């Protein structure tokens, strides 16, 4: 497979982990679409990072929870050919203990992770199948595996991604497409920075530190490579020994 001919789409590519994934795929020689919903400036900065070291990238903007808008954006990308690497990274926290969780808090988190997965993956899957090569990687969470107080909605959303990963992997395994999920633990990003102080990290993580976005991106980059061609249907946690 000619790496320079492979096009990758990373949803939520303007965030901490998403940006690191975009840079890693760009360094591997792929053309990277950096997706953002409202973070246009951040997405443009990531594109600049990739192009600054000789890579190729472009920013794309659409709301993953809007099925029609996402399908239109996917169809526009497909005009240039199949997208063969898809990283479903976009997601949000909206934490509350379950007795006090509002319908909106539940719905927003589920909508982006679960419906967003369907909205962007479904229109891209058949063109990918026709090429007989592809990588679909969803960013889950260690919360989906061990739970966390105040995150029933987030655990449910990421758990659904894990289940969808396993089922979809069976449907496309004979077509040269792998489908996996990566479940990060505590990663040093703006999203997690306010949730865990140094003492909490030392208590929760056997390695006594948070992971880095680049460490997550390296795992994603491996799963997106030819070297990982026999790995599919897996939920791989990167968590410093938490489980």
Confirm whether 242 is domain-assigned.
no
Question: Which one from 33, 118, 154, 230 is the annotated catalytic residue?
Answer: 154
Within a domain: 243: no
Residue 219 phi/psi, 5-degree rounding, is: -65, -45
Structural domain includes residue 60: yes
β-strand 31-36 against 134-139: which pairing, if any?
Answer: unpaired
Asked whether residue 220 is domain-assigned, the answer is: yes
Q: What's the CATH code of the domain at 23?
A: 3.40.50.720
**Structural domain total, the chain:** 1
Task: Name 136's bridge partners.
Answer: 86, 179
| Domain span holding position 219 | 3-237
Q: Is residue 139 part of a domain?
A: yes
> What does the pLDDT profile of the chain (243 residues) look like in tens digits?
777 799 999 999 999 999 999 999 999 999 999 999 989 999 999 999 999 999 999 999 999 999 999 999 999 999 999 999 999 999 999 999 999 999 999 999 999 999 999 999 999 999 999 999 999 999 999 999 999 999 999 999 999 999 999 999 999 999 999 999 999 999 998 766 556 788 889 889 999 999 999 999 999 999 999 999 999 999 999 999 998
pTM score of the predicted model: 0.96
Are 68 and 113 in contact, with CB atoms under 8 Å apart?
A: no
Q: Give me the residues paired with residue 181 across strands.
A: 138, 235
* Inside any domain, residue 192: yes
- Determine whether 154 is an active site residue: yes
């Amino acid at each position: 497979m000619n790496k320079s001919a492979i096009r990758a789409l990373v949803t939520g590519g303007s965030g901490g982990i998403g940006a690191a994934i975009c840079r890693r795929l760009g360094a591997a020689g792929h053309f990277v679409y950096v997706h953002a919903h409202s973070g246009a400036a951040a997405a443009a900065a990531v594109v600049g990072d990739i192009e600054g070291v000789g890579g190729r990238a472009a920013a794309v903007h659409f709301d993953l929870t809007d099925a029609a808008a996402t399908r239109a954006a996917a169809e526009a990308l497909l005009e240039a050919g199949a997208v063969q690497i898809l990283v479903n990274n976009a997601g949000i926290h909206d934490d509350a203990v379950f007795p006090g969780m509002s319908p909106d808090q539940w719905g927003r988190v589920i909508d982006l992770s679960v419906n967003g997965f369907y909205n962007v993956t479904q229109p891209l899957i058949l063109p990918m199948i026709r090429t007989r090569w592809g990588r679909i990687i969803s960013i889950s969470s260690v919360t989906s595996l061990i739970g966390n107080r105040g995150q029933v909605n987030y655990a449910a959303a990421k758990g659904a991604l894990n289940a969808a990963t396993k089922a979809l992997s069976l449907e496309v395994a004979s077509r040269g497409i792998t489908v996996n999920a990566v479940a990060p633990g505590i990663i040093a990003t703006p999203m997690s920075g306010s949730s865990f102080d140094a003492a909490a990290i030392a208590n929760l993580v056997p390695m006594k530190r948070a992971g880095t976005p680049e460490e997550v991106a390296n795992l994603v980059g491996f799963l997106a490579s030819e070297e990982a061609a026999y790995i599919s249907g897996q939920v791989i946690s990167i968590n410093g020994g938490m489980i």
